[in-house]
Amino acid sequence: MPRAKQTKGICSFCLGEVTKGTAFKHIAACPKRQAAVDASEAKPGDVEPLYYLRAGDSYLKDFWLDLEVRGNAKLKDLDKYLRAIWLECCGHLSQFTADGFGSRVAGMTRQIGDVFGDGLEWMHLYDYGDTSETVIKAVGVREGKPTTKHPVALLVRNLPPETPCMVCQDPAAWFCRECQIEDNTEGMLCDTHKRKHPHKDYGGPIPLVNSPRLGMCGYTGPAKPPY
Ligand SMILES: [Zn+2]
Ligand SMILES: [Zn+2]
Ligand SMILES: [Zn+2]
Ligand SMILES: [Zn+2]
């Protein structure tokens, strides 16, 4: 995949485009975001620490998420969120670790504030066979009332990376697993070349979805946030 430009993301509040490098600043200045924060602050309830987490695939840097997570939410809430938006294929095991597989593992009932409070980088591993690695770090924290009733709020999500069709270089919209496994090619196809594509053994080409797990194990999406 070409990676010349800095990847873009979309702000969940104003739906404006931001870059990976400016997302944090944008969220701090976004008027629509500020309106959502003000509306929450006007409601009854106590303020609490809310963590700005940046999550990104360890290898495919075009895939990243900026999340606001309640300090008293549990790691399993974040695990559930990552599974829904990016990872879930067959209910594999997962863990949060500071040092790689099996080393300094943080239990799923640990609180976000407790784990991310010191600014260290953690890794989320999903599927111990064909493993997806997500690096997560707190880049900020604020005292406030959460903007949703859920433990996690999506702030910014990467836009789907532009991927060329392996035949004609037009934008791809499909992925063929058989190409990847049997032919050792990327397996990315445009609409035209998907129609003419001969492979059927792995179920035929599937739609490209906005997830770094596409092409791993049996992952096919839907890559949608759970709420
Ligand atoms: Zn915005
Ligand atoms: Zn699987
Ligand atoms: Zn094509
Ligand atoms: Zn194919």
The whole model's pTM is what?
0.94
CATH class of 8-158: alpha beta
Determine the distance separating the centroid of ligand 3 and the alpha carbon of 207, expressed in angstroms.
Answer: 14
Q: What are the start and end residues of each CATH 3.10.290.30 domain in the chain?
A: 8-158
How confident is the model over 30-76, as pLDDT tens digits?
999 999 999 999 999 999 999 999 999 999 999 999 999 999 999 99
Ligand nearest to the CA of 220: 2
Spatial distance between the Cα atoms of 102 and 84, rounded to a whole number of angstroms: 23
Residue found by looking up tokens 């099996």 in the block:
102
How confident is the model over 84-102, as pLDDT tens digits?
999 999 999 999 999 888 8
Determine the distance separating the centroid of ligand 2 and the alpha carbon of 89, expressed in angstroms.
Answer: 4
Sheet holding 122-126, edge to edge: 17-19, 8-11, 152-158, 64-70, 48-57, 132-144, 122-126, 94-97, 105-106
Kindly report whether the peptide bond that precedes residue 31 is cis, defined as omega within 30 degrees of 0. no
Q: What is the mean pLDDT of each run of 10 residues along the chain (227 residues)?
A: 70 97 97 98 95 97 97 98 97 94 92 94 96 97 96 97 94 95 94 95 93 92 95
